Amino acid sequence: MNHVRAVARLGAVFALLTFRLGSVLAASLPVPVQPPASNAPAAPAASIPFEKLELGNGLTVILHSDRSLPLVAVNIWYHVGPANEPAHRSGFAHLFEHLMFEGSKHVGHEFDHVLESIGATNSNGTTSWDRTDYFETAPSENLELLLWLESDRMGFMVDTLTQDRLDVQRDVVKNERRQSYENAPYGPSSLALLNALFPEGHPYHGAVIGSMQDLSDASLADVVDFFRAYYAPSNATLCIAGDFDVAQAKALVTRYFRTLPDRARPEGKAFPYAPLSKPERLVVSEPVSLAQVSFGYRTPPAYSVDDPAVQVAMAVLGGGKATRLYQRLVVQTKLAADVSASVESNQLSSIASLSATVATGKSSATVERELDAVLAALTKTGPSKAELERAKRRILVGVASELELLNGPGGESGRAGLLQRFHQYTGDPGYLPKYLAQISNVSAADVSRVLKESLRPDARVVVLTQPRAENGAENGK
């Protein structure tokens, strides 16, 4: 969930590195690669040099120095999302994403204004199922200022929080929920799918943005308690990437973060992964012009053994005009106006989804049968060699594009975001070469197996979106 705010743009082009599959990265990302023995895409020889340390108060710090351009990125992750929220406090992690821009004791309400004054770019915050992050990129001479701003938010945000500010941001989040779900085309269907995948009692229930009731019930005391519990140095990881001297950066981090209170890191919720125990089928009526068929599945957690195979399977199914779903449902049968396939890799359970928007005059039931047929065929025989290579290449090129940036637009991308992501989910910020090798080593048999085990018809949610005229009459098939 992006918290989009107007921050001045430098307009700088982030052509920081050249990266080609099977070739050597720029000087900051060395290690030569041997030519592949076959035509299959080999994992590119990529790594992100870093140093990791921990302050006495528990703050983890990751440093990646690259002096090629005079830019520095700060990216801080708080290890809190819906996975950690107490009962009847859904949406608190996302609410805090907004509140953290509402001022702090020594900065006041000038956070964005200060960033604008130094020409900072890509300043934002995002919330996902397992973490909340804040990031900004600026000319490198401003590193000390960026660290001061973030340390003041970490240590002193609630000192200036008032009931009025809470009420304003609560209303902003409620409006964002309406725009994302209640009032968005296919939004109610998306929310229904998520809530069926993760019923009440599961930490992911209620979607990242939370329920209207829980947001309404949030008191100022509740918010302060949440901050004290989760916005502590021991529950955060700070990553600095770009043009800086490592010794100087360490001194600055120590100066601005060392004195913040040492509080015990909250224990995470133990919730073992399991596929959905039984199928569920929902029909959602919406004021849209075209029907839609969506399948949702729980799949293995992020960076677990089978997660790379699920990623490759989804890339075989959707994401381009050469993929199975597009070719079968859009090109050959003309049953669908568009199709999609994706997987969101998370800590407790990843989420795989397939969707087809029914073409005008076509039947939802026919589209659903065709989706099932495509899945069954891929499960039975696995992808062809060309399909497998194309899917892997698309994933590897996606990683390559992330390596060109210090901070990506969503907090999880760019080199700082990759270091944070790998640290969050594997405990090793340097996991990138292992991940690339895992993707490269996925076989056709692996794809077939994970489809059979995780994308089963008896372990999924099917949502049929039924078009409804504005006067309430059904107008779809």
Q: What is the pLDDT of residue 473?
A: 53
Query: Coil, strand or helix: which one is 397?
Result: helix
Whether residue 431 is contained in a domain is answered as: yes
Residue 154 has pLDDT above 50, yes or no: yes
Q: How far is CA 145 from the centre of its chain?
A: 27
Q: Which residues contact 246 (CB under 8 A, 6 or more apart)?
A: 51, 63, 65
Q: What is the pLDDT of residue 450?
A: 98
R_g of the chain computed on alpha carbons? 23
> How are beta strands 461-467 and 280-286 bridged, if at all?
parallel
Whether residue 114 is contained in a domain is answered as: yes
pLDDT tens digits, residue range 333-371? 999 999 999 999 999 999 999 999 999 999 999 999 999
Same-domain status, 227 and 291: no
Q: How far is CA 190 from the centre of its chain?
A: 16
* First-to-last C-alpha distance (Å) of the chain: 33
Same-domain status, 187 and 310: no
Same-domain status, 244 and 315: no
pLDDT tens digits, residue range 107-144? 988 898 999 999 999 899 999 999 999 999 999 999 99
Q: Give the closest residue to 410 by CA, choosing from 77, 157, 119, 107.
A: 77
Same-domain status, 439 and 328: yes
Q: Specify the DSSP element, H or E, that contains 389.
A: helix 385-403
Mean pLDDT, the chain, whole residue set: 89
Residue 22 has pLDDT above 70, yes or no: no
Q: Give the closest residue to 271 by CA, choosing from 352, 203, 208.
A: 203
Say how many domains are in the chain: 2
Same-domain status, 92 and 233: yes
User: Which residues, in sequence order, are bridge partners of residue 379?
Assistant: none
Residue 16 has pLDDT above 90, yes or no: no
Query: Coil, strand or helix: which one is 147?
Result: helix
Domain containing 214: what range? 51-257
Measure the CA–CA gap between 82 and 425, rounded to whole angstroms: 16
Residue 62 has pLDDT above 70, yes or no: yes
Judge residue 37's burial from the number of C-beta atoms within 10 Å of its C-beta, 0-12 exposed, 13-18 middle, 19 or more buried: exposed
Mean pLDDT for the stretch of residues 33-45: 46
Give 262-318 as a DSSP string.
Answer: --PPPPPP-------SS-EEEEEEES-SS-EEEEEEEEPPTTSTTHHHHHHHHHHHS
Q: How far is CA 183 from the centre of its chain?
A: 23
Residue 97 has pLDDT above 70, yes or no: yes
Same-domain status, 107 and 227: yes
Same-domain status, 426 and 388: yes
Measure the CA–CA gap between 435 and 48, rounded to whole angstroms: 13
Asked if 25 contacts 37 with a C-beta cutoff of 8 angstroms, the reply is: no
Q: What is the pLDDT of residue 472?
A: 52
What are the Cα distances from residue 168, in Å, to 177, 226, 457? 14, 18, 44
Q: What is the pLDDT of residue 362?
A: 98
Mean pLDDT for the stretch of residues 72-77: 98
Q: Give the closest residue to 150 by CA, choosing from 168, 125, 167.
A: 125
Same-domain status, 401 and 302: yes
Same-domain status, 61 and 147: yes
Q: Sheet holding 350-358: strands in order across?
A: 280-286, 461-467, 292-299, 350-358, 336-344
Same-domain status, 247 and 351: no
Residue 12 has pLDDT above 60, yes or no: no
Measure the CA–CA gap between 374 and 314, rounded to whole angstroms: 12
Q: What CATH code is carried by the domain that includes residue 382?
A: 3.30.830.10
Q: Which residues contact 31 (CB under 8 A, 6 or more apart)?
A: 24, 25, 45, 46, 47
Measure the CA–CA gap between 339 and 343, rounded to whole angstroms: 14
Whether residue 315 is contained in a domain is answered as: yes
| Of 225, 257, 289, the domain-final residue | 257
Same-domain status, 96 and 148: yes
- The sign of the dihedral angle between the CA atoms of 166, 7, 259, 257 is positive
* Cβ-based neighbour number of residue 60 at 10 Å: 20
What are the Cα distances from residue 285, in Å, to 84, 178, 198? 32, 16, 21
Regarding pTM above 0.85, the answer is yes
Same-domain status, 451 and 323: yes
